[in-house]
């Protein structure tokens, strides 16, 4: 069982995708530290979908940040092994 947090929109720096990506980092950091703030939190699956305009550099950086977060969490869940 998991709660789905889904955001599917065009990526903009003023939209909530960046805040949600940073929230994922805060949740992960709290879980690693013992999970006091997240101990009663529902299991959550985060899904992002969207695209950036071709010349929108900041939006493309947000997409890269989300991709880096995904890869970092996958590596951490695999016990630090990078295949």
| pLDDT tens sequence across 14-41 | 778 899 999 999 998 998 888 888 888 8
Mean pLDDT value across residues 3-24: 89
pLDDT at position 3 over 90: yes
Q: How far is 75 from 77, CA to CA, in rounded Å?
A: 5
pLDDT per residue as tens digits for the range 44-79: 999 999 989 999 999 999 999 999 999 988 888 787
Counting Cβ atoms within 10 Å, is residue 50 exposed (0-12), middle (13-18) or buried (19+)?
A: middle
User: Any bridge partners for residue 4, and if so which?
Assistant: 45
Mean pLDDT value across residues 7-18: 87
Q: How far is 30 from 47, CA to CA, in rounded Å?
A: 20
| pTM above threshold 0.85 | no
CA 25 to centroid of chain Cα atoms: 7
Q: How far is 69 from 33, CA to CA, in rounded Å?
A: 18
């Amino acid at each position: 069982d998991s709660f789905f947090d889904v955001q599917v929109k065009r990526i903009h720096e003023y939209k909530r995708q960046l805040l949600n990506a940073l929230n994922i980092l805060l949740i992960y950091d709290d879980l690693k530290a013992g999970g006091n703030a997240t101990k009663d939190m529902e299991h959550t699956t985060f899904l992002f979908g969207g695209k950036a305009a071709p010349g929108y550099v900041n939006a493309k950086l947000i997409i890269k940040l989300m991709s880096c977060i995904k890869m970092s969490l996958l590596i951490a869940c695999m016990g630090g092994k990078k295949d």
